[in-house]
Amino acid sequence: MLPFTGIDFFLLSAIFLLSVYAVKAIASTRFPLKWLLLSGSLIYVVWYVPHALSAFAFLTYTYLVYYCAEYVFRSEKKWPAVILLLAPMILVKASVAVDVISFTGLSYITFRVIQIYLDNNRNEKPVRPDDYALFMFFTPTLMIGPIDRFKRFNDDVKSGFASLTITNFTQGWEMVLLGLVQKFVLAEAINRYLLSPLNTESSSFSDMLSNMYVYAFYLYFDFAGYSSLAAGFAKLIGINVPQNFNNPFIAVNPQDFWRRWHASLSDWLRDYLFRPYYKWISGKEKLKPYPLFKQNSGLFLTFLVMGLWNGFKSNYILSGVLFGVYSVVHNTYVVRSRQAGRDVVFGSLNAVVVKWISVFLMFNLACIALYVFSGRCPLL
């Protein structure tokens, strides 16, 4: 019973939600919200998550790596520990020992683990094991995010029952309703009546075009619906998680698209991959005359890693490469326009016209990359 995939999960969530508000009413001073959330998350993992033992083994392993690297060996170099933290996910993506170390949410939990380690201040006390476990196994975001940040999440948890307000409940319920419509009405209808009947083996232009556009809308409503449900249920119990989607199909360029599509992942990659890489490459004396190359190499690497993070399959990698190429081309255009003091592509064309041309281009480019990502393209 994976999160937000069937009626059983929603019934279990309703029971848990009622329990939280009952405890608030009768025993909030004796039973902190954190222990209620942690107990619920651990029980869910034990009883309902496939390969739960692997999940707990991963939790123990990564906590020991984090703790030893920061507080025992006090290593100044971060990369050895990062490689150790990434190792289980890389092995699973490479189809090595999948039955032993794979479990629901591994990819997303790995990025949360690395975020804790890289943001850690060793002059402060280490993250407590119970706080670590709750952040990793928090049920609404367990399977496919959004990818939260530990400090923000932990601050919400510390606020306890005070965060269970009418405002949060109302906003959370609205998100849940939106998610239900997106995932179980729109995505389901698109999948059942439009996507499933399509021939994925046909290489005719019209069939591929139909597959491309229909899949893009299906993926959006399914993924955005899941994210809305995750954010909504978290809000109902006083936890704010990042919003993942904000009308991505009206984006005007690749940067704008990734602010609107799976924003928590793109923010994570910006903060923990692009910026460290750019800082590192900016220190190379031979490359100082080539600032554009440094920016573009960082952008391309970021999206290549995004593709690899989804899996070591050609469709995932190629979709990452495509988004990397889009970002490099757009960044080059922006830099050249700034250097020239004018728009080197659209010239003096009306700004409104430029905007809608940009929306049209970005929408179609995104659909192409998502079609490649889907694995439905018969040409691959």
Q: Where is the domain boundary, 161, 195, 221?
A: 161
Instruction: Report if residue 346 sits inside a domain.
Output: yes
Instruction: Note the pLDDT of residue 27.
Output: 82
CB of 224 closer than 8 Å to CB of 182: yes
CB of 254 closer than 8 Å to CB of 330: yes
Same domain, residue pair 218 and 345 = no
Instruction: Note the pLDDT of residue 188.
Output: 97
Instruction: Note the pLDDT of residue 78.
Output: 94
Same domain, residue pair 287 and 341 = yes
CB of 116 closer than 8 Å to CB of 66: yes
Same domain, residue pair 79 and 140 = yes
Instruction: Note the pLDDT of residue 317.
Output: 98
Instruction: Report if residue 60 sits inside a domain.
Output: yes
Q: Where is the domain boundary, 226, 243, 260?
A: 243
Instruction: Report if residue 236 sits inside a domain.
Output: yes
Same domain, residue pair 16 and 129 = yes
Same domain, residue pair 259 and 190 = no
**Amino acid, single-letter form, for residue 96:** V
Same domain, residue pair 146 and 175 = no
Tell me the residue range of the domain where 230 lies: 166-243
Q: How much is the pTM?
A: 0.95
Same domain, residue pair 18 and 130 = yes
Distance of alpha carbon 248 from alpha carbon 258, whole angstroms: 8
Nearest to 89 by CA among 105, 66, 77, 78: 105
Same domain, residue pair 205 and 62 = no
Q: Where is the domain boundary, 161, 181, 203?
A: 161
Instruction: Note the pLDDT of residue 123.
Output: 87
Same domain, residue pair 142 and 24 = yes
Instruction: Note the pLDDT of residue 258.
Output: 97
Would you give per-residue pLDDT tens digits along the chain (380 residues)? 789 988 999 999 999 999 999 999 998 778 899 999 999 999 999 999 889 999 999 999 999 999 999 999 998 899 999 999 999 999 999 999 888 899 989 999 999 999 999 999 988 999 999 999 999 999 999 998 999 999 999 999 999 999 999 999 999 999 999 999 999 999 999 999 999 999 999 999 999 999 999 999 999 999 999 999 999 999 999 999 999 999 999 999 999 999 999 999 999 999 999 999 999 999 999 999 999 999 999 999 999 999 999 999 999 999 999 999 999 999 999 999 999 999 999 999 999 999 999 999 999 999 999 999 999 999 98
Same domain, residue pair 235 and 254 = no
Query: How many separate domains does the chain show?
Result: 3
Same domain, residue pair 27 and 112 = yes
Distance of alpha carbon 22 from alpha carbon 117, whole angstroms: 36
Instruction: Note the pLDDT of residue 75.
Output: 87
CB of 355 closer than 8 Å to CB of 186: no
Instruction: Note the pLDDT of residue 2.
Output: 83
Same domain, residue pair 150 and 226 = no
Instruction: Report if residue 135 sits inside a domain.
Output: yes
Instruction: Report if residue 150 sits inside a domain.
Output: yes
Instruction: Report if residue 2 sits inside a domain.
Output: no
Instruction: Report if residue 170 sits inside a domain.
Output: yes
Distance of alpha carbon 82 from alpha carbon 116, whole angstroms: 11
Instruction: Report if residue 255 sits inside a domain.
Output: yes
